[in-house]
Amino acid sequence: MNCQACVEFILRYLDGELPDDERAAFEVHLAKCPPCGRYLEQYRVTVTACKKAFVAPPEACDDVPEALIQAILASRRDV
């Protein structure tokens, strides 16, 4: 396996969707290719970053304006 194939396999590798032989080849390549190892690690950090980027601090928890709630409830009467 070369770097291009390795990088293409990352998503399916992380999702546990690679068949055994491809998974083995992927891991063999990673073990001998530090740049692909770094790429995989950074890909993982990127996914974590996405998840964390939208975690609001508890104090910023959304209060829905009462006017909006009332508008929503009123809209049901028109349905």
Report which DSSP code applies to 63: P
3 binds another protein (CB under 8 A): yes
25 binds Zn ion (CB under 5 A): no
Candidates 28, 32, 51, 58: give the one binding another protein (CB under 8 A): 51
Q: Provide CB contacts within 8 A for 40, sequence distance 6+.
A: 10, 13, 30
**Which of 1, 9, 3, 2 is closest to 36 using CA atoms?**
3
Candidates 5, 24, 28, 31: give the one binding another protein (CB under 8 A): 5
- Where does this chain bind Zn ion (CB under 5 A)? 3, 33, 36
